[in-house]
Structure 1
Amino acid sequence: MTLAERVARAVDAAPVIDLHTHLFAPQFGAMNLWGVDELLTYHYLVAETLRAEPKLAPEAFFARDKAAQADLVWDALFVRRSPLSEAAAGVATVLAAFGLDPAARDLREARAFFAARRVEQHVEDVLRLAGVSALAMTNDPTDPEERALWEAGLAPDPRFHAALRLDRLIAAQDLKAELTRWIARMRPRYLAISVNEVSAPPRAVLDACREHDLPFAMMIGVRRAVNPRLGVAGDGVSAVDLTPLERLAAENPDVRFLVTTLARENTHTLCVVARKFANVLPFGCWWFMNNPSLIEETTMMRLEMLGPTFVPQHSDARVLDQLIYKWRHSRRSIASALTRRYGAMPVPPTDAQIERDARALLGGIAGEWLKA
């Protein structure tokens, strides 16, 4: 067996703890998104469709119901074009994993398949096919639908860990009281915020992290609504100055910071920051970075600069079924980077060493930070 085959085998076998998703446990009801129509109306594919069909106005697309939108996406990206983008190829991977034809002329077979499924069994099948043992949700108590479920005493599947999103909650008049309330109710594994530029969070956030021993996750570099006509598909990216992150880590050595950046240009600087501050953990290839070529490049750089002390990927999945393709595709990129680094070692690694490293990178390090 070649080195590449040994590494691929170990990476494929390692259970994943997915550090950041937008998924919901089955107990959240309709908020738990799955099925072919949800896959095809994911905002990555909406943006791609509206690019491929420039005569179709975004307003006309969004005026259709979800099934009609999905039909249009399928025809534009899968019937009249090849699914070469990562988002489109991902849908093909999911369909093939369930024995469905990713080259079908229409969605009748796929819709019938998903309609016949029970959600509980579907969750089990997806987690098994993706090799995911646990994941972190993104939970926003300012969302009325989600807030009502938590206040009704919802208890999620224990494999679906809460993560308290601060994007809108941070504007609360009494932030300390709100954090205390929602940490007690949700029992989140970390606090999280997505921002354009790095700035120190309110003192109440850092105090809550210390008091409850929770990491503070920062997803950096998103520019909202650069094309408002595309709705949630209209966000963009910017490279940012990470000097404030250095100050934040230096001034708060007792707070753990989970950090991912949206711009490729920031990935190297983040590695340098992490080399200097052990309380900074780079994680994942977020959003526009979630392409196999960039995942492999970023993983290589992190291995070269940090060794196996980071989390190479998170899925950022919004539709349950996306876990299958995001982790199948990411495992290939991670295994390729690991193989190249092992190949540079003067003494070849043993199978036990490869398995140890794969388990740490795919789930062990995330589990330690989440205390999962």
Structure 2
Amino acid sequence: MTLAERVSKAVDAAPIVDLHTHLFAPQFGALNLWGVDELLTYHYLVAEALRAAPKVTPEAFFARDKAAQADLVWEALFVRRSPLSEATAGVATVLDAFGLDPAAKDLREARAFFARRRVEEHVEDVLRLAGVAALAMTNDPTDPAERAVWESGAAPDPRFHAALRLDRLVASNDLASELDRWIARMRPRYLAISVNEVSPPPRAVLDACRAHDLPFAMMIGVRRAVNPRLGVAGDGVSTADLVPLERLAADNPDVRFLVTTLARENTHGLCVVARKFANVLPFGCWWFMNNPSLIEETTMMRLEMLGPTFVPQHSDARVLDQLIYKWRHTRRSIARALTRRYEAMPVPPTDAQIERDARALMGGIAGEWLGA
């Protein structure tokens, strides 16, 4: 067996701990998105479809019901074109995993398949096909639908861990009290915020991290509503100054920071910050970085600069079925990067070393930070 085959085997076998998703456990009912119509109306594909069908305005697209939107996306991106983008290739991978034809002329077969599925059965199948042992949700208690589930006392599937999102909660008049309340109710594994530029979080956030021994996750570099006509699909990217992150890590050595950046230009700078501050953990290739070529490039750089002390990927999935393609595609990219680094070693690695490193990168390190 070649080195590349040994590495691929180990990476494929390693259980995944997905550090950041937008998924919901089955107990959240309609918030748990799955099925072909949800896959096709994911905002990555909406933006691509409206580019491919310029005569359809965003307003006309969003005026359609979900099934009609999905039909338009399928026609524009799968019938009239080959699924070459990562987003469309991902849908094809999911359909193929379920024995469905990714080159079908319409969605009748796929819709019939998903209509027959029970949600509990589907969750089990998706996690098995993706190789995911545990994942972190994104939980916003200011959302009325989600808030109602938490206040009902529902206990999520234990593989779905809570992560408390602060983007809107930070505007609370009594943030410290709200944080204590929701940490007690949700038992989140970390606090998280999405920002354009790095700035010190409110004192109450860092105090809560210390009091509850929770990491603080920052997703840096998103520019909201660059094209507001596209809705969620209209966000863009900007490079960020990471000097404030250095100050934050230096001033708060007792707080652990999970950090991912949206701009490719920031990935190297983040590696440098992480080399200087052990309380900073780079994680994942987020959003516009979630492309196999960039995942391999970024993983190579991180291995060269940090060794196996980072989390190479998270899925950022919003639709349950996306776990299948995001992790199948990602495993290939990570295996290629890891193989190249092993080839640079003067002594070839043993199978035990490869398996140890694969388990750490794919789930072990994320599991340690999640407490999973």
Fold shared, TM-score > 0.5 on shorter chain: yes
Deviations 1:261-298 (A, max 9, x none): 00000000000000000000000000000000000000
Query: How many residues align structurally?
Result: 372
Instruction: Work out whether 1:3 is the aligned partner of 2:3.
Output: yes
- What is the distance in 1 between the residues matched to 2:5 and 2:123? 29
Q: Secondary structure at the match of 1:258?
A: strand
Task: Report how far residue 105 of structure 1 moved.
Answer: 0.3
- What is the distance in 2 between the residues matched to 1:16 and 1:145? 29
Q: Please tell me the residue identity of whatever aligns with 2:156.
A: P
- What is the distance in 1 between the residues matched to 2:35 and 2:314? 21
Q: Please tell me the residue identity of whatever aligns with 1:31.
A: L
- What is the distance in 2 between the residues matched to 1:144 and 1:230? 24
Structure 1 residue aligned with 2:330: 330
Instruction: Work out whether 1:364 is the aligned partner of 2:364.
Output: yes
Aligned 1:151-166 pairs, distance under 5 A: 151-166=151-166
Aligned 1:67-216 pairs, distance under 5 A: 67-216=67-216
Q: Structure 1: which 5+ residue stretches go unaligned?
A: none
Q: Secondary structure at the match of 2:320?
A: coil
Instruction: Work out whether 1:246 is the aligned partner of 2:246.
Output: yes
- What is the distance in 2 between the residues matched to 1:144 and 1:29? 14
Q: Please tell me the residue identity of whatever aligns with 1:318.
A: R
Task: Report how far residue 154 of structure 1 moved.
Answer: 1.4
Which moved further from structure 2: 145-154 or 176-185? 145-154
- What is the distance in 2 between the residues matched to 1:113 and 1:292? 29
Q: Please tell me the residue identity of whatever aligns with 1:137.
A: M
- What is the distance in 1 between the residues matched to 2:240 and 2:221? 6
Q: Please tell me the residue identity of whatever aligns with 2:76.
A: A
Instruction: Work out whether 1:255 is the aligned partner of 2:252.
Output: no
Q: Secondary structure at the match of 2:330?
A: helix
Q: Secondary structure at the match of 1:82?
A: coil
Structure 2 residue aligned with 1:30: 30
Q: Please tell me the residue identity of whatever aligns with 2:121.
A: Q
Q: TM-score normalised to the size of structure 1?
A: 1.00
Structure 1 residue aligned with 2:43: 43
Structure 2 residue aligned with 1:267: 267
Structure 1 residue aligned with 2:15: 15
- What is the distance in 1 between the residues matched to 2:358 and 2:121? 28
Structure 2 residue aligned with 1:287: 287
- What is the distance in 2 between the residues matched to 1:52 and 1:127? 32
Instruction: Work out whether 1:301 is the aligned partner of 2:301.
Output: yes
- What is the distance in 2 between the residues matched to 1:122 and 1:149? 21
What stretches of structure 1 move > 4 A for 4+ residues in a row?
none
Q: Please tell me the residue identity of whatever aligns with 2:332.
A: R
Structure 2 residue aligned with 1:277: 277
Which moved further from structure 2: 263-272 or 148-157? 148-157
Q: Please tell me the residue identity of whatever aligns with 2:193.
A: I
Deviations 1:114-169 (A, max 9, x none): 00000001000000000000000000000000001101111100000000000000
Q: Secondary structure at the match of 1:17?
A: strand
- What is the distance in 2 between the residues matched to 1:8 and 1:369? 25
Structure 2 residue aligned with 1:237: 237
Task: Report how far residue 311 of structure 1 moved.
Answer: 0.1
Q: Secondary structure at the match of 2:268?
A: helix
Q: Percent same amino acid at aligned positions?
A: 90
Q: Please tell me the residue identity of whatever aligns with 2:289.
A: M
Q: Structure 2: which 5+ residue stretches go unaligned?
A: none
Instruction: Work out whether 1:227 is the aligned partner of 2:216.
Output: no
